[in-house]
């Protein structure tokens, strides 16, 4: 069903309402994205603040967050009315869901935006607004994606969000994003590249994700917090 008006509100409404998202394994992808990202979130298991999933889709990251952070108050926000209704029916017993866009995000402790900003025209402006609403912002996107998915507007590298503020980043293979496991690595990357070498074609690269961690604790506090982490950009 993909075609014109990609990434509009109506486009996503139709994808969720029609069952196309589920048919294309979107729910599986969301669950596996969340499981792959959890090790890189700098939150203790007893975190008891508010965690908001921006662009939550059908809410399938919520069971992972709920299991990892059982004391946290979970909120999901998405532009699709159909998606939010499904979220409420599936996970409303332990999470709160609201239909809205970036302008309706409330003030919370932590915001996670997983594989959402690559769909938006103003990704840096969206990240800046989200950061103003929380103490910690985690943005996850594909890393150096090439070629781009038809729904993705741009590729991301280590420096992409420099205009937003100080952040650390982690690059990692993630379940849900193809070519992450050992079997996929051999079948989809290495063996394929052998064939492409003999055909004189450019090699394909293993697909990776990048997680950007922003802190809204003030410049000095943010720098001190992010200093021990693996990678950093100011």
The beta-carbon contacts of 201-207 under 8 Å, at least 24 apart in sequence, are 205/144, 205/146, 206/173, 206/179, 206/180, 207/142, 207/145, 207/173, 207/177, 207/178, 207/179, 207/180
Per-residue DSSP letters for 112-155?
EEES-GGGSS-HHHHHHHHHTT-SEEEEEEEES-SSPPTT----
Q: How confident is the model at residue 201 (pLDDT cuts 50, 70, 90)?
A: low
Q: How confident is the model at residue 220 (pLDDT cuts 50, 70, 90)?
A: very low
pLDDT for residue 229:
47
Cα(34)–Cα(31) distance, rounded to whole angstroms?
5
pLDDT for residue 184:
45
**Which tens digits make up the pLDDT trace of 128-158?**
999 999 999 999 999 998 888 899 999 999 9
pTM for the full predicted model: 0.84
Name, in order, each residue with C-beta under 8 angstroms of 154's C-beta and a sequence gap of 6 or more: 118, 123, 148
**CA 122: distance to chain centroid?**
16
Q: How confident is the model at residue 231 (pLDDT cuts 50, 70, 90)?
A: low
The residue with greater pLDDT, 29 or 190, is 29
Instruction: Walk me through the domains of the chain, giving residue ranges and CATH numbers.
Output: 9-175+205-233 (3.40.50.150)
Average pLDDT of the residues of the chain: 86
pLDDT for residue 234:
45
pLDDT for residue 91:
98
Give the chain's radius of gyration (CA, Å).
Answer: 18
> Token pair of 197, please?
């070498």
Q: Which residues pair with 213 in a beta bridge?
A: 138, 168
């Amino acid at each position: 069903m993909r075609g014109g008006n990609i990434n509009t509100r109506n486009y996503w409404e139709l994808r969720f309402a029609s069952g196309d998202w589920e048919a294309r394994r979107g729910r599986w992808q969301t669950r596996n994205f969340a499981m792959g990202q959890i090790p890189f979130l700098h939150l203790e298991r007893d975190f008891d603040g508010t965690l908001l999933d921006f662009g939550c889709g059908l809410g399938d990251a919520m069971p992972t967050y709920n299991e990892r952070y059982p004391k946290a108050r979970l909120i999901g926000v998405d532009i699709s009315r159909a998606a939010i209704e499904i979220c409420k029916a599936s996970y409303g017993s332990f999470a709160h869901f609201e239909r809205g866009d970036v302008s309706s995000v409330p003030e919370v402790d932590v915001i996670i935006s997983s594989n959402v900003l690559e769909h938006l025209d103003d990704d840096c402006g969206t990240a800046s607004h989200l950061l103003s609403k929380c103490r910690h912002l985690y943005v996850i996107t594909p890393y150096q994606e090439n070629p781009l998915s038809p729904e993705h507007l741009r590729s991301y590298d280590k420096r992409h969000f420099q205009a937003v503020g100080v952040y650390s980043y982690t690059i990692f293979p993630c379940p849900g994003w193809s070519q992450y496991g050992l079997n996929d690595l051999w079948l989809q990357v290495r063996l394929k590249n052998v064939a492409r070498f003999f055909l004189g074609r450019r090699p394909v690269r293993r697909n990776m994700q990048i997680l950007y961690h922003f802190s809204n604790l003030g410049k000095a506090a943010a720098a001190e917090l992010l200093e021990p982490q693996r990678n950093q950009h100011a």
